[in-house]
Amino acid sequence: MDSTPRFWTATKQKTLYFLLGSAVLSIGTPAIVAATQAGARFYLLQPIVFVAQVIPNLVATGLWLPWPSARASKVALLLARIFFFASALFYIPVMTGILPTSGDMIALGYVLFAMVTVAAILVATVVAFAVSWILARRTKRTDAATPVL
């Protein structure tokens, strides 16, 4: 059996699946709304809307997947789950029409939401990894202070 560590652990695969699910929601929602609302077609079928929807997912992927440690992978999985459920909470009501959207600024709303999402991803990443690092450091310090009998 190969004892070398693998980059694609089960935790990282789950993280990737949550990020892909979020990407499908964020890209699919403007497409579905454009297909179902004739007045929104012109505004939502612009390439900038779809590019803006991809950027938060690419930022999250770049920040959360490359870390080799198991602790960082677990934090990334937690953040990816939160990101997926937050995306579902926002995009599914818009996609299904529960939250009606229309008007000539609809595309700007999607672009602004993507920009705010990128900022939230950056802040959440810094906070989550800082807390994880502090807790790991505290655990090391406690383990070092405890005498082994």
pLDDT in tens, 78-128: 999 999 999 999 999 999 888 888 888 899 999 999 999 999 999 999 999
Query: How far is the CA of 50 from the CAs of 29, 41, 84, 131, in angstroms?
Result: 10, 13, 18, 33
Res 3: pLDDT: 54
pTM for this structure?
0.85
Residue type, 115: M
* 44, 107 Cβ separation under 8 angstroms: yes
Distance between CA atoms of residues 123 and 91, nearest Å: 21
Res 147: pLDDT: 63
pLDDT in tens, 16-64: 999 999 999 999 999 999 999 888 889 999 999 999 999 999 999 999 9
